[in-house]
Amino acid sequence: MNDFTCSDPGQKIIKNDILDLDLNRVVVAACTPKIHESTYRAVLIEAGLSPYYFQMVNIREHCSFVHSNNIKNATEKAIRMVKGGINRARQLEVVPYKEIPVKKAALVVGAGIAGMNAALDLANQGTAVYLVEKEPTIGGKMAQLDRIYPTDDCGI
């Protein structure tokens, strides 16, 4: 147990335990994963373990904060959540990392004035554009106008 597992000493304890105890999964019951999950995943990587073998249980926001007036219920809920985190960790698998080449292109649906402007902006930035329109002609409502305000240009 450590009061600040996200601190450097706490991370060192986790890393050493992974190495010394030959751990294959890590569950941390603490605060929000939003802030510290990436920290713990980095610790697993440093210890030679897949970052996908990490499970975080948020007992601060889900137990301590919402049940601050009832310590007994908060503790019971935290115990159930940690058990659930452990059971989930048993099921974790490595997610293979793949790099897939991607062709830089965009599909613009609708060749009205907005679609054509979007297609032109993308094309001017060097992106290949595929412009599709359900109607037989492009231009949308603009193609139906005789004159365009304020320049009085021809709409067709």
Q: Where are the domains of the chain?
A: 8-91, 105-154
- N residues, the chain: 156
Residues of the chain whose pLDDT is less than 70? Answer: 1-2, 146-149, 152-156
* Assessment of whether the complete model's pTM goes beyond 0.75: no
Torsional sign, CA 90, 86, 28, 10 = negative
- pLDDT tens sequence across 31-47: 888 888 999 999 999 99
**H runs (alpha helix) in the chain:** 8-20, 33-46, 59, 71-91, 113-124
pLDDT of residue 33: 85
* CA–CA distances in Å: residue 110 to residues 113, 140, 142: 9, 8, 13
Which pair of structure tokens corresponds to residue 23? Answer: 């751990």
135: left (phi over 0), alpha (psi -120 to 50) or beta: beta
